[in-house]
Chain A
Amino acid sequence: MNVPLKAIGQPVSRVDGPDKVQGHARYAAEFDQPDLMHAAMVLSTIPSGTITAIETKAARSAPGVHAVITHENAPRLPYAPMAKRPQVDAQGGDQLKVFQDPTIRFNGQPVAVVVAETLEQAVHAADLVRVSYEHADGHTTFDRARGRAPSRGNEKAGRPADTEIGDADAALKSAAVSIDANYVQAREHHNAIEPHATIAAWDGDHLTLHDKTQWPDNDRDEIAHVFGIKKENIHVVSPFVGGAFGSALRTWPHVTVAALAARVVQRPVRLELTRRQCYTSIGFRPHTEQRVALGAAADGTLTAIVQEAFGQTATYEEYAETTLDPARNTYACPNVRTRYRLIEMNTNSPCPMRSPGVATGMLALETAMDELAVALRMDPLELRLKNYADRDQHKNLPWSSKELRACYRVAAERFGWSERTPEPRSMRRNGHLIGYGMATAVYPSHRAKASAAATLLRDGTALIRTAGSDMGPGTYTSMTQVAAETLGLPVERVRIELGDTDMPYAPVHGGSITMASVGTAVQAACQALLDDLAGVVKASPDPRLAAFKAGTPEWRDGGLAGPGGVISFAELMEGLGFDRITAEGQSAPGNESKTHSSAAFGAVFAEVEVDPDFGTVRVPRIVGAYDIGRVVNPKTARSQCVGGMVQGVGMALLEQAEWDERFGRPMNGNLAEYVVPVCADIRSLDVTFVPGEDTIFNPLGVKGVAELGLSGVSAAIGNAVYHATGRRVREFPILPERLLMG
């Protein structure tokens, strides 16, 4: 057995931090290659129609240009049939097939790519391409009347059209107290700091992709499918990702464009999206409109939950979200009805953005809970406690762990919730209206099949490799800690390599599944390595090792303990005459998902200051307490929650695509006009993790954290705005004019 060094649970600073701040960490666009060429895309400027002519002569004869590829001259791509779309893709409809036909499905669709010696030449020539269109009727308005049920693929993927337990509408009618309201959540864009970029290089029929991706293995599968080549012929390298928030889960059409361009010019090609292109060439959080009706007995016991959501989706592909998951199991209630409808629009496909579906569903549900508390004249926290869900009533399973009561208590105490006077507009400071609001946070915990390789090197250090990605949360660091603890090594003697399809398979780096999935695989690989090593020691004829053969091996202090002390890994390796010894480990979900429901929980409290004349809202502090199971690294986990709070400020108050319905295009596609929070918007953010381990869910006892950090934040802020002003803004973000004029 090994004796833990207690690497897990320590606030280890990012092991990749020095490389990142010194510029040594290389991102997708930075892998310079000999003979590298540059690509610039031309995007459609209408939302629906057909290309009637595409004039490329001027572009082709511009300096430095090697190719202009359009649907007229692009190689036909097989897009080989797939038994099932990967889970990160839309689960209905057909994916966009680049340059394969003249049909325009959305504004901002790639219609040509120019490949040139320099980026400037490519951009200039792209500017010279002239496209003529025949316009066709399309759908650029969010029209609820067109709402339709999700197709079977999405139903099967947990996005059902209709669910009901009990009789929610009848219960609503007969409820002592009820509320019924509509909520709007704006289309949001990920806006990760690193733009999406791909460098594609062919060597015969072998392709190397340096790509921004949250899932290197799927990047490989997708491009293999598009080009109809064996996945073994594709090598994806993606060691660092500069933030993604879900935008790099799936492999977008521009990756195909880069690979296609490289094949045409037979040179490596680099394609980087501009910030503006990031608003249409990748996905976004869909505009969603919801109705929530809640009924309760006079004492606050919920008797009815009705939540209906209309989500925006593309016409060619059907992306759907788990918007209504929270309605079904966040609170105990005998009568729950949900209804989910999709509205097809001529837009690029939406995709998961941090806490996908759940953040949107929670925004409506938790605002509605606040409205119900007001109607009941009940403290909003008390209302939540009154309806605490001791089981997952939708799955009819017990929780594998749930410390939400502790979250409520700890966060309320740290926030000073008891100082709140319940009347709206009753708290003021320096001429500003002060409001306190709170919300529940929840995100389901999942895990997926994963593998890792652990290698002990001759110098006694360990190398861990897995194909998974680290888009920024600190996976390099947390995996180092898991390996160090399992091997009994200090973290300085463990190195992690990630983001390469030559490494053992890893699942998508998203949905907050990484620690429960890849983390347990790393743990298993390290354990397997120790077991292998013990076997080799037992079999070794080396007399120096004789003393270490008896009984169960005890690994500690960077080596193997024996009667005379510890023999270090380095000495062991030398004694065995090994340069390296490697073992693989796998992990996969077991029976636990059939016996239990797993989720991470939290409670979020926010204070707002509202200028009563201007309607401007600022957020002096947010306090959150979270149950994420065992905390591997409190420093990086805290950063996740802090990041979620910041993003929640954006969702509540600032962020929205300004969608022009005439053109089907977001107009504010840049970071000056698409307003995200800046440092000056953020003051005190307080994060606490309540004690807990979930060893039913997985052997490490961890749950997820990233998605949870956003869940509930925007509702807490909106509820605080109501408390400050007495005005309930149900259209998010809460812009000054909505408070001023609403």
Chain B
Amino acid sequence: MNRFDYVRPSSVSEAVAAGAEPGSAFLAAGTNLLDLMKGGIARPTRLVDVGRIPGLDAIETLPDGGVRIGALVRNADLAYHQEFARRFPMVAEALLSGASAQLRNAATTGGNLLQRTRCPYFYDTASACNKREPGAGCDALAGENRQHAVLGWSEACIATNPSDFAVPLAALDAVVEIEGRGGRREVPLTDFHRLPGDTPQIETVLAPGELIVAVRLSADAAAFAGHARYLKVRERTSYAFAVVSAAAALRIADGRIEAARLALGGVALKPWRAREAEAALAGASPGFESFQEAAALALAEARPSGDNAYKIELARRVIARALTLAAAGTPERLPALPGSPFASGGSLHD
């Protein structure tokens, strides 16, 4: 851990000015950044605490029927916001499948999108990591990589993005509102995170000093509310990052899929939108066959980056299941353990 300055701006414009200074990092809840600093992985020389800037913690319904989520809205507050959860159940389900209750109570909307990878080589400062130290190499490539990326990875980096929240946002064409010194701009969430390429240290499209101020979902996204699920497979039932997850949403009319939205988590350095699969689903009748075809399309470009070939097959199965669950209809109440397919009850020999 290094010495650092700490400033607490009282407005977005002050924050943006302070954040543009070299060595600065924005601090919101700090659920990820403080761990990284304690481990010597992140070494900002100045923390710009945006956590108390007024006006960034509202969940607003927009005139067109969309919703605007302030960057400081806590994950738990969003997930348990009844109106929001009713209209965007897949997002609430994803939020509740992430982290622990304590972390969700603290973590923010903007911070969630900026959480860093869980790649163990990124966390271990004795290892080579291009993300931590550009040009150093990637020790994960020939290392312990059963959890690593199967899509969009490069020789420079095979890490994954750990966010659950970002996956349904990607599926539902969320828009990220960003403020910088040059003013406000908007970026589709699917373009917000970058694939590693040769520069895995550059993780998002944010320029220095740019601050996420809100995330927007449109009324179109709410039209999927009746058939939308987030399914997360993980080694233990709670408090674990996804091995593979899928956000699947359908608009179904007259027994046909009018439109489909599909994104994957745990497979790439960004939430992975599966547009070819969506296109194939549009017009198809919902069922195992079309879901399998969609799953195959979504993983068509996948290749193992190490001991993780199983993730490709697992991802196909998770997609097929998530689409099946979505087609069956969003449940009235979210399950107590969202995304867990392990409901109990029923007879023993069915």
Taking beta carbons and an 8 Å cutoff, which residues of A are in contact with B?
Answer: 45, 120, 123-124, 127, 276, 419, 421, 426-430, 432, 434, 609, 611, 613-616, 618, 620, 653-654, 658-660, 662-663, 665, 667-670, 672-673, 675-681, 683, 735-737, 740-741
Contact = CB atoms under 8 A, between A and B. Distances in A.
Enumerate the 7 nearest inter-chain pairs by beta-carbon distance, A residue then B residue, closest first.
A737-B310, A45-B126, A680-B238, A680-B237, A667-B120, A658-B144, A613-B317
Nearest to B341: A611
Contacts of B342: 432, 609, 611, 616, 618
A421 B349 contact: yes
Q: Which of A432, A653, A672, A741 has the most CB of B within 10 A?
A: A672
A678 B236 contact: yes
Contacts of A276: 39
A613 B120 contact: no
Contacts of A735: 146, 235
Contact of A668 (B144, B239, B310): B144
A124 B2 CA distance: 6
5 contacts: A124-B2, A430-B346, A430-B350, A658-B120, A681-B238
Nearest to A276: B39
Nearest to B243: A736
Interface string B311-344: 1011001101100000000000000010011111
Given A124-B3, A428-B350, A660-B144, A675 B236 contact: yes
Contacts of B253: none
A292 B51 CA distance: 59
Given A614-B321, A680-B337, 8 more contacts: A430-B344, A616-B233, A653-B235, A658-B146, A660-B144, A663-B139, A667-B143, A736-B243
A678 B239 contact: yes
A39 to B, nearest CB: 15
Interface string B10-38: 00000000000000000000000000001
Using C-beta atoms within 8 Å of the partner chain, give the interface range for chain B: 35 or more
Nearest to B140: A667
A670 B123 contact: yes
Contacts of B241: 672
A275 B311 CA distance: 29
A654 B235 contact: yes
Given A127-B40, A614-B317, A668-B144, A620 B237 contact: no
A432 B350 CA distance: 10
Nearest to A670: B123
Contact of B309 (A430, A609, A618, A741): A741
A674 to B, nearest CB: 10
Nearest to A431: B341
B314 A679 contact: no
Contact of B321 (A426, A613, A618): A613
Given A614-B314, A667-B121, A427 B240 contact: no
Contacts of A675: 235-236, 240
B236 A123 contact: no
Contacts of B236: 654, 675-678, 680-681
Contacts of B126: 45, 663, 665
Contact of B233 (A127, A678, A736): A736
A673 B345 CA distance: 31
Contacts of A683: 344
Q: Which of B38, B121, B126, B342 has the most C-beta atoms of chain A within 10 angstroms of its own C-beta?
A: B342
A134 B233 CA distance: 44
A702 B38 CA distance: 47
Contact of B238 (A434, A614, A615, A679): A679
A673 B309 CA distance: 20
Secondary structure of the B side of the interface? loop
B327 to A, nearest CB: 15
B127 interface: yes
B143 A429 contact: no
Given A665-B124, A667-B121, A120 B348 contact: no
B118 interface: yes
A429 B238 CA distance: 22
Given A45-B126, A124-B1, A658-B120, A419 B143 contact: no
A740 B312 CA distance: 11
Nearest to B121: A667
Contacts of A663: 126-127, 139
B102 interface: no
Contacts of B2: 124, 127
Contacts of B121: 667
Interface string B133-160: 0000001001110100000000000000
A683 to B, nearest CB: 8
A656 B142 CA distance: 19
B127 to A, nearest CB: 7
B265 to A, nearest CB: 15
Contacts of A662: 139, 142-143
A681 B314 contact: no
Q: Which of B235, B311, B350 has the most CB of A within 10 A?
A: B235
Nearest to B310: A737
A83 to B, nearest CB: 39
Contacts of B311: 737
A432 B321 CA distance: 13
A419 to B, nearest CB: 7
Contact of A667 (B124, B142, B340): B124
A654 B238 CA distance: 13
A741 B313 contact: yes
B60 to A, nearest CB: 33
Nearest to A674: B120
Contacts of B243: 736
A430 B344 CA distance: 8
A252 B122 CA distance: 29
Contact of A614 (B39, B120, B240, B318): B318
A468 B137 CA distance: 51
Nearest to A127: B40
Contacts of B142: 662
Nearest to B349: A427
B318 A618 contact: no
Contacts of A672: 118, 239-241
Given A124-B1, A736-B310, A740-B314, A678 B238 contact: yes
A325 to B, nearest CB: 31
Contacts of B146: 658, 735, 737
A488 to B, nearest CB: 47
Nearest to A621: B344
B96 to A, nearest CB: 12
Contacts of B1: 120, 123-124, 127
A662 B236 CA distance: 28
A658 B3 CA distance: 32
A502 B337 CA distance: 51
Contacts of A673: 118, 120, 123
A430 B343 contact: yes
Interface in B87-140: 118, 120-121, 123-124, 126-127, 139
Contacts of A426: 349
B61 to A, nearest CB: 33
B6 to A, nearest CB: 13
